[in-house]
Structures are given as structure tokens and as C-alpha cells.
A and B are shown apart, each in its own frame.
Chain A
């Protein structure tokens, strides 16, 4: 079974803090994704990576950056957290071959006060 873990289930940070969310997968998948999920808006793609040190912007990259130094680890960075970044953050992985089934981590609920 694919296992995708996220560093924290719940996180509370203050406005202006730098925040790191980490995602680790154990299945040697090439592609990794970060989403945020908000009520009524569904999942919105922030960034994705299809190889080590590669990254691509998703639909809402503003205010975020990412790092992928190792194949199994994909980090999401909030350089200066703001209250509008309070959300559920979900990491997912997939192989680079069809049908691209995505496997999700349990999520991190981030609150910025």
C-alpha cells in the first residue's frame, strides 16, 4: 500500500511566521502535489512536482513556495503566513503513468491567527 504522510495533522501559527508543511511518500512515485481545500471551493492545486528539484505552479501559487530535494519528500512553504492561508492542506502523489491515480495524505489543518 502507498503511504503518504504529512508532518502535522493540526498546526497553529501566527501571522508573519514562516511555515513548513512536509509530505513524505514511500512508493517511489515521481509526481507529488500540494492542494488546499476550503468549504465550497473543493481542492485547488497550489504546486506540483514531477521530479526532484522540479516544480510547476498550480492554480493558486501566490504566497507559497515548494521544495523537492529528494524524491520522497515534497515541502510546502508559506514564507509569511497570513490569515487567509488558514485552510486544510492536502498532499498527493502519483506515478508518471496512466491512469494517474492520486494517493492522498491525511491532511494538515493550518490555522493562522
Chain B
């Protein structure tokens, strides 16, 4: 069965510092991988996705993520965090034939210190 683990429930970084949010998945074949962001009281917005090709993917708002098959990971990075990046971040995995079902991690809440 597929599963997604986000080991960090809450992370605090200083504005301007770099960020890495961790995501590990469990799936037998090559998965489709996603990162979503949720601002307080809002729905989820797609940051980036991976389904084939280059393992380093670029997303919106200056985020990037790298798919590492050997580590079953899809970590999200940003070189310099802005105060507006404070939000909750969700990693998700999907599979061919799943009718669009995604398995979501429990989320990582990001706080940004001035």
C-alpha cells in the first residue's frame, strides 16, 4: 500500500534562510509526486509535481523539489524563505490506475521568524 511520511510536524526558519521540507513515500513503482501549500483557512494550492523525466522539478514561488528513487524521497527546498511562505505544506503520492486518488502526508507547518 502507498504511504507518505512527512517527519517534521512543525519547522521554524528565519526569513532569508534556506528551507528543506522532507517527504518520504512508500510505493512499489515510480509514483507521481506532488507538493501542495495551504495558507490558513484556504484550500490547497499545487506548488509542483513530478511524474517523469528530470528528477529536479521547479515550481511556483521559487520552490523546487528533487525526486530520489534510491531514498524514496521527494524533498521540497527553497533557497531563501520569505515571511509569506508561512503556511502548511503537504506532500502527496499518486499512482497509475488509481482514478486520481492521492495519498497525502499529514503536513508540515512552516513558521517564519522575522
Instruction: Give me the interface of A with B, judged by CB distance under 8 Å.
Output: 4, 30-31, 33, 40-43, 45, 48, 50, 56, 90, 92, 94-96, 98-107, 109
Interface residues, chain B, with chain A CB atoms under 8 Å away? 9, 32, 34, 36, 41-46, 49, 51, 90, 92, 94, 96, 98-102, 104-107
Is there an interface contact between B104 and A42, defined as CB atoms closer than 8 Å?
yes
A99 to B44: give the CA distance in the assembly, Å: 17
Q: Are B105 and A101 in contact (CB under 8 A)?
A: no
A99:B106 contact, CB within 8 angstroms: no
Neighbouring B residues of A98 by C-beta, 8 Å? 32, 51, 94, 96
Instruction: Chain A residues near B92: list those with CB within 8 A.
Output: 102
Do A31 and B100 touch across chains, with their CB atoms under 8 A apart?
Answer: yes
Contact flag A106-B94 (CB < 8 Å), given A43-B104, A99-B49, A100-B100? no
